[in-house]
Amino acid sequence: MTALICGSMAYDSVMVFEGRFRDHILADRIHVLNVSFLVPSMRRSFGGCAGNIAYNLKLLGGNGLIMATVGHDFEPYAEWLAQNGIPDTHVRVLMEHFTAQAFITTDLDNNQITAFHPGAMNYSHLNRVTDIGGVKLGILSPDGRQGMLDHAQQFADSGVPFIFDPGQGLPLFNGEDLRSFIDRATWVAVNDYEASLVSERTGWSLRDIAARVQALVVTRGGEGSWIFAGGRRLDIPSAPIAHAADPTGCGDAYRAGLLYGLENGLDWETTGRVASLIGAIKIEHHGPQQHRFTPDEFKGRFRAAFGRSL
């Protein structure tokens, strides 16, 4: 089974300011803010939710097709996908736009100032789920607003089960929008903060949301995750890590684990642990697509983490 992964493709430029923002931003002068930060180190990573999910799903041995819109500067990313055996046959290039880009400056207290340029992502509605034959499973991750609305409807009209993963796209939608997404989705995946926002905007409790889908997944960082399915809540433990290097992309890695479990008909107890472990592996590495492992390495670490075989 192949999963259609709808979402963003982006370049992430992460810069480190070797000081503290608080020492350079004066509270009584915030209305005339004009500051500049010297950032001696910078790294540029391939990112975006769809790209990150596809990369992690490929590592697990799953199959994914990316559906996204990118700009004229996409060639380096396309080469990276090809090197990793990830097809880009449904990635639309818009030559008059840039690929979405995030510019993130972090200080010594791990505070961040981020500028995000959506670029070609705003035109994701030009792609249609129905143009891709043989789709049996999907995920709707953060993307352009109209694209997310259209793709949810297209998944539903085509009878394709999909995960609704609003993520950073949550500010784009009101309660009515979110209720509509949930009623069309088969599964919903959010972190604990997003879960609170969705509940507040829809007026539905987590139990209410879970009753409308086959499973509601709530990730809780180092405290593991909850999977509401079959009328009960499963408590999925977090996987142990050697050290925390960078949380960027951990949520996307977790969602790849969910897709892998769904592709392979795994139960939720196992699927949640697969997702937990790949998120843990990701956090040990800088950048959302710099970690690597073989299937045998993953199985060995799964056994060590959870005391059971995969």
Residue 35 included in any domain: no
Give yes or no for residue 36 having a pLDDT over 90: no
Task: Say if residue 31's pLDDT is above 80.
Answer: no
* φ/ψ of residue 71, rounded to 5: -110, -170
pLDDT (tens digit, 9 = 90+) per residue, 277-301? Answer: 999 999 999 889 999 999 999 999 9
The pLDDT of residue 166 is 96
Question: Do residues 255 and 163 lie in contact, with contact meaning Cβ atoms separated by under 8 Å?
Answer: yes
pLDDT given at position 183: 98
CATH number at 149 reads: 3.40.1190.20
pLDDT of residue 246: 84
Is residue 278 one of the residues assigned to a domain?
yes
Determine the average pLDDT of the residues in 54-73: 97
Residue 232 lies inside a defined structural domain of this protein: yes
Q: Which domain holds residue 238?
A: 3-10+47-99+119-306
User: Taking residues 214-242, what's their average pLDDT?
Assistant: 96
Mean pLDDT of the region 173-199: 97
Ordered strands of the 41-47 beta sheet:
41-47, 10-16, 100-106, 112-117
What's the pLDDT band for 32 if we cut at 50, 70, 90? confident
User: Residue 128 corresponds to which amino acid?
Assistant: R
Q: Is residue 109 included in any domain, yes or no?
A: no
Tell me which H or E stretch contains 103: strand 100-106
Split at pLDDT 50, 70, 90, the class of 22 is: confident
Cα angle value 121/123/128 (rounded, 5°): 110
> Region 2-10: what's the mean pLDDT?
96
Specify whether the CB–CB gap between 61 and 295 falls below 8 A: yes
> Average pLDDT, stretch 91-120?
91
How far apart CA 50 and CA 139 sit, in angstroms, is 9
Q: Based on the structure, what is the number of domains in the chain?
A: 1
Question: 254-268 pLDDT, tens per residue?
Answer: 999 999 999 999 999
Average pLDDT score over residue span 211-223: 96
- Residue 274 domain-assigned? yes
C-alpha to C-alpha distance for 21 and 24, rounded to whole angstroms: 5
Q: Could you tell me if 250 and 167 are in contact, meaning their C-beta atoms sit under 8 angstroms apart?
A: no
CA distance 190 to 210: 12
Distance CA 94, CA 116 (A): 18
In a domain, 24, yes or no: no
Give the mean pLDDT of the chain: 94
Q: Is the pLDDT of residue 86 over 90?
A: yes
Q: Determine, yes or no, domain membership for 233.
A: yes
Residue 150 in any domain: the answer is yes
Q: Does 26 score more than 80 pLDDT?
A: no
